[in-house]
Chains A and B, each alone.
Chain A
Amino acid sequence: MATERHDAGPERGRIRVEGYDAAATDDREFDTAWEPTLQSAEGKGRLYYAWRRFKRNRLALAGAATIGFMTLCAIFAQPIRVPEQVPVLAGQLVQPVALAPADPANQEVLLGHQPPTTEHLFDWPPSMLHLFGTDWAGRDILSRMMYGARWSLSIGFIAVVVALFIGVPLGAIAGYYGGYVDEVIMRVVDLLYAFPFIVLAIAVIAILGRGYWELVFALIVVGWLAYARILRGEILSVKENEYVTAAKALGATDRSVIVRHILPNAMAPVIVQATLSVGTVVLAAAALGFIGLGLSPASAEWGVMLRVEQDSMARGRWWAGFFPGLAIFVFVLAINLVGDGVRDAFDPQGEGGGRFR
């Protein structure tokens, strides 16, 4: 009927619509034209623009490159074999490269590259053979640092990721539902926040004892608090947006409202915090190692290396303590640069205020 009228031209008193092809409208298939996708275009756009801004930040890129370099050093320091517990592949070589100039456990000087002298029994100052010198037991410090990065870095990344998986859901639930649940979760957060970072970690270690996973667990217990608190605050403001009401009105489940609509808009500060926490966690792990409550003295974790060389520094054998500490310093510095870059990328207008507690 409509086509007919169009072809015949407008009758008297009717408005003629120009540039409108009724035939095209009739041919359109209505139900396939639009489909909601899991990741909305808006969310992709935000990450895309953040990445573009991040790429232009030279300091942040330098930080990222440093972290990448240290990670590669850690991975390629020594060959990696599949652990014995894995059934079929046990003992297989996964990563054959050995970049470290010496075996970190090998007591080079003892075994005879250079004869020990009276003032330098085992510990040799930096030389071409041992770039960063050797430690009290005659082990190559550079190799130990590369190997030790495995401990420090893996603790940092694992603890932050797991803490995110605890803090983000709890913070989201507290912020979204409010009321009783919110009270309970946030009172727990407040309570644990009453103890400084290191003290809480020490308390957990006092209960569990020392060891790799105990240390990681202690850092997780301390770490999730910040994410839960930040995300909750962010969600309180995001959930007032109209699109959230719209999604609810359309009958979206709570889960999908939180995951698809609220979280993408509330995660930026949490991501910034998580980036910075990798540094805080590595620093805390090293501090715990240094005071003797972290990994075992046999491991080459950077804090532990400093601990065993504590006296050397006072006696003037600077290299033994200088280089492992420098590794911690450089890593934390790089992480902070990346974290600042991520913050600027997500929030170009804002200027970062206090982020330490």
Chain B
Amino acid sequence: MSLRRYVLKRLLITIPLLLGVTLATFAMVHFIPGDPIDFITLFTELDPETKQQIRARYGLDDPIYVQYLDWLANAARGDFGTSITTRQPVTQEIAERLPFTLLMGSMAFVIAIVTAIPAGIAAAYHRNTKVDQVSRVAALLGIAIPNFWLGLILILVFASWLEVFPVLPPTGEGLLSSEMIVYTLLPALAIGTGSTALLMRLMRSSMVEELDKDYVTMARAKGLPERTVVGKHVLRNSLISVVTVAAIQVAFIISGSVVVEIVFSYPGLGRLLVNRVRNHDFPVIQALVLIIGVAVIFANLLADVLYAYLDPRIRY
């Protein structure tokens, strides 16, 4: 199977999943006990006639499948309705905060990759020595540490005791201003630690496995310098599984950002989601849940495709 056919096949499998996610997100609102009107009107007492008008305006009188198709068509055009709390278009609210979350998420991702891969290589190369032991303990601690507690400790140490980082995010600065990037460093570190620990151990075990293979002995026997053996032959083969797991870390990082954004009062999507859940602002919640679901599905798709590209045996 060529790569193109594999990707096409994988895309076809994804379509029903995407539809399922939209259906689940749409159905969410209909699971809430009580009248949806109450959430729109914030439980104010209204005469039946006004209620009827509101119902008609929000299309709540239509049959359920018409409501779903309307919602889906609007969502596809990027229109998620208006927020109940702020009366602003949902899309606009999300668009304002999305870049911040993307910045933090990608920084967390970069931190994880840049530290995990060299550390994993070192642990595998010096396996069963002090280096490996240290990395094992660090990984155990890194996986178990709650990211929000780590965030609080980072604030305590760097913002409160050492006073090298600001406690609150800079206001009125642009996204890519140096202040914002510096401020994003701590939350990105708090989110990235778990992924770092996981990827480091994965890199180590995958590399240990490769180092035991015959071609390594062969390459060494040929008299290749150690740098070439490890850097060129072993590394490439052991990176395959790490790359795919790294792509799946997107879900992990999204989970982390929801919680860590609260710690750092970070103006991103996670804090928006949590605030709006408290206010029962369902248009925003639906839009965010849908966006996150779709993002994770595409991250998983990317992981599969990357795997197939790097390891052609998978395609068959």
User: Is B252 within 8 A of A356, CB to CB?
Assistant: yes
What is the size category of the interface that chain B forms with chain A? Answer: 35 or more
> B205 contacts the other chain (Cβ, under 8 Å)?
yes
> A165 contacts the other chain (Cβ, under 8 Å)?
no
> A353 contacts the other chain (Cβ, under 8 Å)?
yes
User: Is B32 within 8 A of A313, CB to CB?
Assistant: no
Q: How far is the CB of B137 from chain A (nearest CB, A)?
A: 10
> A89 contacts the other chain (Cβ, under 8 Å)?
no
Task: Specify which chain A residues have a CB less than 8 angstroms from the CB of B143 in the assembled complex.
Answer: 336, 356
Closest to B250 in A: A196
Task: Specify which chain B residues have a CB less than 8 angstroms from the CB of A315 in the assembled complex.
Answer: 160
Task: Specify which chain B residues have a CB less than 8 angstroms from the CB of A11 in the assembled complex.
Answer: none
The stretch of A27-35, A229-237, A290-298 in contact with B is A290-298
B residues 1-44 with Cβ under 8 Å of A? 16-17, 20-21, 24, 28, 31-32
A205 to B259, CA, bound (A): 15
User: Is A325 within 8 A of B198, CB to CB?
Assistant: no
Task: Specify which chain B residues have a CB less than 8 angstroms from the CB of A357 in the assembled complex.
Answer: 248, 251-252
> A283 contacts the other chain (Cβ, under 8 Å)?
yes
A328 to B273, CA, bound (A): 24
Secondary structure of the B contact surface, majority rule:
helix
Secondary structure of the A contact surface, majority rule:
helix
Q: How far is the CB of A135 from chain B (nearest CB, A)?
A: 14
Task: Specify which chain B residues have a CB less than 8 angstroms from the CB of A354 in the assembled complex.
Answer: 198, 202, 245
Closest to A337 in B: B140
Q: How far is the CB of B179 from chain A (nearest CB, A)?
A: 18
The stretch of A170-178, A186-194, A266-274 in contact with B is A186-194
Closest to B280 in A: A206
Task: Specify which chain A residues have a CB less than 8 angstroms from the CB of B141 in the assembled complex.
Answer: 333
Closest to A318 in B: B156
A191 to B21, CA, bound (A): 6
User: Is B146 within 8 A of A199, CB to CB?
Assistant: no
User: Is A313 within 8 A of B17, CB to CB?
Assistant: no
Contact of B274 among A191, A197, A292, A303 (CB under 8 A): A292
Contact of A321 among B152, B198, B252, B300 (CB under 8 A): B152
Task: Specify which chain A residues have a CB less than 8 angstroms from the CB of B245 in the assembled complex.
Answer: 354
User: Is B160 within 8 A of A313, CB to CB?
Assistant: yes
User: Is A292 within 8 A of B17, CB to CB?
Assistant: no
User: Is A316 within 8 A of B144, CB to CB?
Assistant: no
The stretch of B65-73, B90-98, B290-298 in contact with A is B290-298
Q: How far is the CB of A297 from chain B (nearest CB, A)?
A: 12
A166 to B120, CA, bound (A): 37
Closest to B143 in A: A336
Closest to B258 in A: A198
Q: How many A-B residue pairs have CB under 8 A?
A: 142
> A202 contacts the other chain (Cβ, under 8 Å)?
yes
User: Is B274 within 8 A of A293, CB to CB?
Assistant: yes
User: Is A196 within 8 A of B255, CB to CB?
Assistant: yes
A191 to B296, CA, bound (A): 11
Most B CB within 10 A of own CB, among A310, A322, A354: A354
Task: Specify which chain A residues have a CB less than 8 angstroms from the CB of B104 in the assembled complex.
Answer: none
> B108 contacts the other chain (Cβ, under 8 Å)?
no
**With A191-B24, A332-B146 known to touch, is A356 a contact of B152 (CB < 8 Å)?**
no
User: Is A205 within 8 A of B156, CB to CB?
Assistant: no
Q: How far is the CB of B265 from chain A (nearest CB, A)?
A: 9
User: Is B293 within 8 A of A325, CB to CB?
Assistant: no
**With A190-B17, A325-B152 known to touch, is A196 a contact of B285 (CB < 8 Å)?**
no
User: Is A206 within 8 A of B252, CB to CB?
Assistant: no
Closest to A325 in B: B149
**With A291-B259, A292-B274 known to touch, is A314 a contact of B156 (CB < 8 Å)?**
yes
> A207 contacts the other chain (Cβ, under 8 Å)?
yes
Task: Specify which chain B residues have a CB less than 8 angstroms from the CB of A197 in the assembled complex.
Answer: 251, 255
A198 to B160, CA, bound (A): 29
> A42 contacts the other chain (Cβ, under 8 Å)?
no
Contact of B146 among A190, A196, A287 (CB under 8 A): A287
User: Is B28 within 8 A of A207, CB to CB?
Assistant: yes
Pick the 5 closest A-B CB pairs, nearest first: A325-B149, A333-B144, A196-B255, A332-B144, A196-B251
**Given A315-B160, A333-B144, 20 extra CB contacts under 8 A:** A194-B296, A196-B251, A196-B292, A202-B258, A202-B273, A202-B277, A203-B28, A207-B31, A290-B262, A292-B262, A314-B156, A321-B149, A328-B146, A328-B149, A329-B145, A332-B144, A356-B143, A356-B198, A357-B248, A357-B251
Binding site for B on A (CB under 8 A): 187, 190-192, 194-199, 202-203, 205-207, 279, 283, 286-287, 290-293, 303, 306, 310, 313-316, 318, 321-322, 325-326, 328-329, 332-333, 336-337, 351-354, 356-357
A-B contact pairs, 21 of them (CB 8 A): A194-B17, A197-B251, A287-B147, A293-B278, A303-B148, A313-B153, A313-B156, A313-B160, A316-B160, A316-B161, A321-B156, A322-B156, A329-B146, A332-B144, A337-B140, A351-B205, A353-B202, A353-B205, A354-B198, A356-B194, A357-B248
